């Protein structure tokens, strides 16, 4: 059932191009317009949405954070991401004009379910982004937008994460299309670019030999830091979470801009730091700013492992290792940049002789609050 792979997680990582492609499949009409009829929410209601609140836990919440950047940019609707277990007890500001989007692979996470029920009680419109047909959360929601990642068996989420991000992009572009007006980006142009992403994920997967080697050499590492900015920030958080749960190594993700506000004190000679570098075409000179972060930590002796786009030579002087990913538009980059971090955590866990599919103390679906 592992299809020739030693672990479910390896199989599921390899299935990622497919998971994203299947999630995008059949969601555009002949003219290239998005058609999410399955939502079965009247268009007027969606057009009237004034705010979006995403509720989720763990990896799914990081998918939600990626979605926040994309949906806000494409629709200009304010988006908030709430950890589902915090949402209910925070006296949330939610009404009929709020779209509450829950994200859950299993569709059974109790924290997320309770947040959705609370949102419904407050009159919100609820949409469930979910990977499990007929599970509880989509049943308890007004509408469901299914990810088509296929069953995810390994406890650590990989392909479901990519599919969740892809589904949220679809939702954001659909809202942008419905609202009309001047887009920051033409939804059809983004869709076209998105359809090229599965092949690019496959390309990233073909380049993973060096990442596996780095992981093997790092089996004795005590702590690893991850930095990212904009959509690279939740990628950094996800890289850290994967390492904690799979390799039981202390790991932290930071927004790169926070470095000088404290975390740079952690940098000492030999400290491994992964840096997710925004593509050189990212607005607001974020690329240059992250490159200068790499320079700063390198000067303090950090071992810098840089994830950068093909052709980005600016990172080279400051990188101990460069892991390359193909070009895509800035907001879509998480679908590529997270993959090396997943592979790294998996192989570090394997190098330590740990059970990759069943990390200690964790269950695949958390059905208690
Ligand atoms: C991490 C992981 C968890 C889940 C979280 C939500 O690898 O798998 O953080 O993402 O427990 O689970 P779902 O998506 O089933 O609600």
Q: Which pLDDT score, from 0 to 100, does residue 1 have? A: 85
DSSP, res 261: G
Which residue has a Cα nearest atom 9 of ligand 1? 58
Is residue 287 within 8 A of residue 232, CB to CB? The reply is no
Q: For residue 325, which of 344, 306, 307, 342 has the smallest C-alpha distance?
A: 307
Token pair for residue 229?
């900015």
Which residues lie closer than 8 Å to 353 by C-beta, 6 or more apart?
Answer: none
Ligand 1 atom closest to the CA of 132, numbered from 1: 15
Ligand 1 atom closest to the CA of 137, numbered from 1: 16
Q: For residue 272, which of 316, 211, 196 has the smallest C-alpha distance?
A: 211
Distance 81 CA to ligand 1 centre (A): 15
Distance 167 CA to ligand 1 centre (A): 16
Distance 60 CA to ligand 1 centre (A): 6
The answer to ipTM > 0.90 is: yes
Catalytic residue numbers? Answer: 364
Query: Which string of DSSP letters, residue by residue, matches 53-66?
Result: EEEE-HHHHHHHHH
- The residue to mutate among 54, 109, 137, having the most atoms of ligand 1 within 8 angstroms of its beta carbon, is 109
Q: Residue 353: how many CB atoms within 10 A of its CB?
A: 7
pLDDT in tens, the chain (369 residues): 888 999 999 999 999 999 999 999 999 888 878 988 888 889 999 999 999 999 999 999 999 999 999 999 999 999 999 999 999 999 999 999 999 999 999 999 999 999 999 999 999 999 999 999 999 999 999 999 999 999 999 999 999 999 999 999 999 999 999 988 666 678 889 999 999 999 999 999 999 999 999 999 999 999 999 999 999 999 999 999 999 999 999 999 999 999 999 999 999 999 999 999 999 999 999 999 999 999 999 999 999 999 999 999 999 999 999 999 999 999 999 999 999 999 999 999 999 999 998 888 888 888 888
Angstrom distance (rounded) from CA 76 to CA 176: 8
Q: Residue 72: how many CB atoms within 10 A of its CB?
A: 16
Angstrom distance (rounded) from CA 348 to CA 254: 21
Angstrom distance (rounded) from CA 103 to CA 303: 35
Angstrom distance (rounded) from CA 90 to CA 118: 11
Angstrom distance (rounded) from CA 65 to CA 69: 7
How many helices and strands (H and E) does the chain possess?
Answer: 14, 10
- The residue to mutate among 57, 241, 361, having the most atoms of ligand 1 within 8 angstroms of its beta carbon, is 57
Q: Which pLDDT score, from 0 to 100, does residue 175 have? A: 95
Distance 20 CA to ligand 1 centre (A): 18
* Residues with C-beta less than 6 Å from any ligand 1 atom: 57-60, 104-106, 109, 112, 156-157, 241, 245, 365-366
Q: Which pLDDT score, from 0 to 100, does residue 4 have? A: 93
Ligand 1 atom closest to the CA of 364, numbered from 1: 8
**CA 284 centroid distance within chain:** 22
Query: Which string of DSSP letters, residue by residue, matches 43-56?
Result: HHHHHT--EEEEEE
Ligand 1 atom closest to the CA of 109, numbered from 1: 16
Distance 59 CA to ligand 1 centre (A): 5
Is residue 98 within 8 A of residue 73, CB to CB? The reply is no
pTM of this structure:
0.97
Query: Which string of DSSP letters, residue by residue, matches 120-176?
Result: HHTT-EEEEEESSTT-HHHHTSSEEEE-------SSS-SHHHHHHHHHHHHHHHHHH
Which residue has a Cα nearest atom 10 of ligand 1? 59
Q: Which pLDDT score, from 0 to 100, does residue 184 have? A: 66
Question: What do you get for the CA distance between the two ends of the chain, in Å?
Answer: 31
């Amino acid at each position: 059932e592992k299809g020739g792979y030693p672990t479910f997680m390896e199989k599921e990582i390899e299935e990622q191009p497919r998971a994203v492609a299947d999630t995008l499949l059949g969601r555009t009409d002949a003219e290239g317009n998005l058609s999410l009829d399955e939502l079965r929410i009247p268009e007027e209601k969606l057009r009237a949405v004034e705010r979006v609140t995403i509720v989720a836990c763990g990896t799914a919440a990081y998918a939600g954070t990626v979605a926040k950047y994309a949906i806000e940019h494409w629709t200009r609707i304010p988006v908030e991401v709430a950890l589902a277990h915090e949402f209910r007890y925070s006296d949330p500001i939610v009404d009929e004009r709020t779209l509450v989007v829950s994200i859950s692979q299993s569709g059974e996470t109790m924290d997320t379910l309770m947040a959705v029920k609370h949102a419904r009680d407050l009159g919100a419109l609820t949409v469930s982004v979910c990977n499990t047909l007929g599970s509880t959360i989509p049943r308890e929601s007004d509408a469901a937008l299914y990810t088509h990642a296929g069953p995810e068996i390994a406890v650590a989420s990989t392909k479901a994460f990519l599919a969740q991000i892809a589904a949220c992009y679809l939702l954001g572009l659909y809202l942008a299309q419905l609202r009309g007006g001047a887009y920051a980006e033409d939804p059809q142009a983004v869709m076209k670019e998105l359809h090229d992403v599965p092949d690019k994920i496959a390309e990233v997967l073909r380049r993973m030999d060096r990442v596996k080697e780095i992981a093997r050499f790092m089996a004795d590492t005590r702590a690893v830091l991850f930095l990212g900015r904009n959509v690279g920030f939740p990628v950094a958080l996800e890289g850290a979470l994967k390492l904690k749960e799979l390799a039981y190594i202390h790991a932290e993700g930071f927004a790169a801009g926070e470095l000088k506000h404290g975390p740079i004190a952690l940098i000492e000679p030999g400290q491994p730091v992964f840096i997710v570098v925004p593509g050189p075409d990212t607005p607001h000179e974020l690329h240059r700013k992250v490159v200068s972060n790499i320079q700063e930590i390198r000067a303090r002796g950090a071992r810098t492992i840089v994830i950068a786009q093909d052709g980005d030579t600016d990172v080279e002087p400051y990188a101990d290792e460069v892991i390359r990913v193909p070009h895509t538009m800035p907001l879509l980059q998480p679908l590529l940049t997270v993959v090396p971090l997943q592979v790294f955590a998996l192989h570090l866990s394997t190098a330590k002789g740990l059970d990759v599919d069943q990390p200690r103390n964790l269950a695949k679906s958390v059905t208690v609050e």
